[in-house]
């Protein structure tokens, strides 16, 4: 009888161990439970924690710390903002109208919008902000106002802005934070930068508590003119560096982390969600067009057909990106998805090569050695093209030497990239006189289309022009697009109601954030 009891107890114990072993994914360790309880005590259920790296000033047009800038985007509104698909949407502006010549724009400010101190926002605040930014060359927003030649308050709640050149995309530059003139106009430069004088904005959150080296508490703006945020308060935890941000996210002390090197399993058993967004970075393989055989369109078709770019995106960029023919967000209103990129097709690549009257083609492929992604991509390109009878030498050089070779044309092929400007992006990258046109690419047709894009005000017509541009570049193959890159916003699983972030602010859709609990 005792033996039977012993056997029964032994079997019960074994079954319990087996069940526990099968359910380890659903059982928290003591350390995890402690972290969860600590997080609940810190957060409460009506707050969310974000973070900022240490900064010198909270003045939004002087601040150069990007992570703080993201947080300040919740405190200070702009005339316009850029959404997750890289489209322009109005914020403080209710409407805007371009002049006939496309060189000036009249913007009407929304009625009833108030600063956090209760005073109404006026066109004078916009004029003051633009003139202030123009007077401060070191402002991170100075680049956005350099094309403005004149600004004045117009009739009613309107602002008149004149630009130095014709380009209707320049409205995309009007995303800088608007400042309260009545609080800042009379201040000295020192007082203008002082934190105590920069705590009043117009956004969905107000600054409720400010501890520069520790934390900023943002409270919901109950008088906000647009949709009020669901969460009552946000805590902006101030940390030394990006590694501290990552560590705090792992420790459940913050709910968001902007990770441009995310990979599956990076955060272990931490319950997270990731939201990808396009970063505005476009990587490509460029040719030295003055060298043979790159002038031969069939050779360029052979190259673009012979490189497995989808494999490259998965293995090198960890799936964070898409192939686009031109440097435009593929979800943007002006990107034509009906124009398909060249597909990986070795047979077609070999057919294109048959018409090339050259043997034993040896080519160099230049990359900057500090960029691991580019180096890996270069070797995938090298191995892809071996089957086409091409011998590729990957040349890895430090940035200074790489940049010098790129500038002097000392390469056959090179992996390079653009960080696309907000406005004038097509002129910058693809126009024969574009500042970012490192390709030496020159096409009268493309130059003409870009000029038409800059002058066009009607959205439907703009869509047609962009489609024409995309088709022309796809036909010319002045470069091989490798990836339009994405970043990952890593979010605690307890956060619900997330909209999609954008390249200009990771907290897009913050009014919809909510706390789902653990």
pLDDT in tens, the chain (518 residues): 444 444 343 333 333 333 333 333 334 445 544 444 444 444 344 689 999 999 999 999 999 999 999 999 999 999 999 999 999 999 999 999 999 999 999 999 999 999 999 999 999 999 999 999 999 999 999 999 999 999 999 878 999 999 999 999 999 999 999 999 999 999 999 999 999 999 999 999 999 999 999 999 999 999 999 999 999 999 999 999 999 999 999 888 999 999 888 877 787 777 888 899 999 999 999 999 989 899 999 999 999 999 999 999 999 999 999 999 999 999 999 999 999 999 999 999 999 998 787 778 999 999 999 999 999 999 999 999 988 889 999 999 999 999 999 999 999 999 999 999 999 999 999 999 999 998 889 999 999 999 999 999 999 999 999 999 999 999 999 999 999 999 999 999 888 887 789 999 999 999 999 877 54
CATH of the domain at 103: 3.90.76.10
Q: How many domains does the chain have?
A: 3
190 belongs to a structural domain: no
* Other beta carbons within 10 Å of 498: 18
Looking at the structure, tell me whether residues 366 and 408 fall in a common domain.
Answer: yes
Looking at the structure, tell me whether residues 377 and 516 fall in a common domain.
Answer: no
335 belongs to a structural domain: yes
Looking at the structure, tell me whether residues 55 and 100 fall in a common domain.
Answer: no
For 489, how many CA atoms within 13 A lie in the half-sphere containing its CB? 26
334 belongs to a structural domain: yes
382 belongs to a structural domain: yes
Looking at the structure, tell me whether residues 39 and 156 fall in a common domain.
Answer: no
The secondary structure element, H or E, covering residue 81 is strand 80-82
Looking at the structure, tell me whether residues 208 and 309 fall in a common domain.
Answer: no
Backbone conformation region of residue 367, classed left if phi is above 0, alpha if psi is from -120 to 50, else beta: beta
Looking at the structure, tell me whether residues 309 and 424 fall in a common domain.
Answer: yes
Q: Residue 82 and residue 355: Cα distance in Å, rounded?
A: 46
Looking at the structure, tell me whether residues 377 and 424 fall in a common domain.
Answer: yes
Q: What's the DSSP call for residue 360?
A: S
Looking at the structure, tell me whether residues 314 and 325 fall in a common domain.
Answer: yes
Q: What's the DSSP call for residue 99?
A: -
425 belongs to a structural domain: yes
Looking at the structure, tell me whether residues 512 and 375 fall in a common domain.
Answer: no
Structural domain of residue 138, as residue ranges? 77-182
197 belongs to a structural domain: no
> Which string of b and e fits 458-474 if b means at least 16 CB within 10 Å?
eeeebbebbbbbbbbbb
Q: Taking a C-beta distance cutoff of 8 angstroms, is the pair 466, 44 a contact?
A: no
CATH of the domain at 302: 3.10.105.10
CATH of the domain at 512: 3.40.190.10
265 belongs to a structural domain: no
21 belongs to a structural domain: no
pTM for the predicted model, two decimal places: 0.87
CA angle 204, 209, 212 (to 5 degrees): 110
Looking at the structure, tell me whether residues 145 and 36 fall in a common domain.
Answer: no
Looking at the structure, tell me whether residues 339 and 411 fall in a common domain.
Answer: yes
Looking at the structure, tell me whether residues 434 and 315 fall in a common domain.
Answer: yes
Token pair in block for residue 48: 């969310």
φ, ψ (nearest 5 deg) of residue 453? -60, -45
């Amino acid at each position: 009888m005792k033996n039977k009891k012993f056997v029964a107890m032994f079997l019960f114990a074994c079954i319990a161990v087996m069940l526990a072993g099968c359910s380890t994914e659903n059982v928290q360790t003591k350390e995890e439970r402690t972290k969860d309880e600590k997080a609940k005590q810190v957060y409460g259920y009506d707050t969310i924690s974000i973070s900022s790296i240490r900064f010198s000033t909270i003045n939004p047009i002087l601040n150069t710390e990007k992570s703080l800038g993201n947080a300040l985007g919740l405190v200070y509104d702009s005339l316009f903002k850029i959404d997750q698909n890289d489209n322009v949407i109005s914020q403080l502006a209710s409407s805007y109208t371009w002049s006939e010549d496309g060189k000036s724009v009249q913007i009407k400010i929304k009625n009833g919008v108030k600063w956090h101190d209760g005073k109404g926002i006026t066109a004078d605040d916009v004029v003051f902000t633009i003139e202030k930014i123009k007077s401060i060359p070191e402002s991170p927003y100075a680049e956005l106002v350099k094309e403005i030649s004149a600004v004045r308050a117009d009739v009613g709640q309107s602002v008149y802005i004149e630009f130095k050149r014709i380009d209707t995309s320049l409205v995309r530059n009007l995303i800088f934070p608007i400042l309260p003139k009545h609080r800042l106009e009379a201040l000295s430069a020192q007082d203008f930068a002082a934190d105590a004088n920069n705590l009043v904005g117009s956004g969905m959150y107000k600054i409720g508590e400010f501890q520069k080296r520790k934390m900023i508490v943002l409270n919901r703006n109950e008088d906000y003119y647009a949709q009020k945020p669901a969460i009552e308060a946000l805590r902006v935890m101030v940390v030394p560096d990006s590694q501290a941000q990552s560590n705090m996210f792992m420790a459940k002390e913050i709910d968001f982390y902007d990770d441009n090197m995310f990979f599956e399993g990076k955060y272990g058993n931490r319950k997270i969600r990731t939201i990808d967004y396009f970063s505005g970075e476009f990587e490509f393989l460029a040719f030295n067009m003055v060298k043979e055989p790159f002038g031969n369109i069939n050779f360029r078709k052979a190259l673009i057909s012979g490189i497995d770019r989808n494999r490259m995106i998965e293995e090198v960029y960890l799936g964070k990106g898409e192939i686009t023919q031109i440097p435009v967000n593929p979800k943007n209103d002006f990107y034509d998805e009906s124009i398909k990129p060249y597909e990986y097709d070795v047979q077609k690549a070999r057919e294109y090569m048959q018409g090339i009257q050259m043997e034993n083609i040896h080519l160099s492929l230049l990359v900057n050695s500090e960029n691991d992604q580019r180096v890996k991509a270069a070797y995938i390109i090298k191995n892809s093209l071996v089957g086409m009878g091409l011998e590729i030498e990957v040349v890895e050089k430090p940035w200074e030497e790489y940049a010098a070779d790129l500038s002097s044309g000392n390469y056959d092929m090179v992996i390079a990239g653009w960080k696309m400007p907000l406005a004038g992006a097509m002129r910058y990258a693809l126009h024969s006189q574009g500042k970012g046109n490192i390709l030496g690419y020159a096409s009268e047709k493309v130059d003409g289309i870009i000029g038409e894009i800059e002058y066009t005000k009607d959205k439907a017509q703009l869509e047609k022009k962009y489609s024409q541009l995309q088709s022309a570049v796809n036909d010319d193959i002045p470069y091989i697009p490798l990836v339009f890159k994405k970043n990952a916003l890593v979010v605690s699983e307890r956060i619900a109601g997330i909209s999609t972030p954008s390249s200009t602010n990771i907290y897009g859709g913050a009014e919809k954030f909510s706390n789902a609990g653990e």
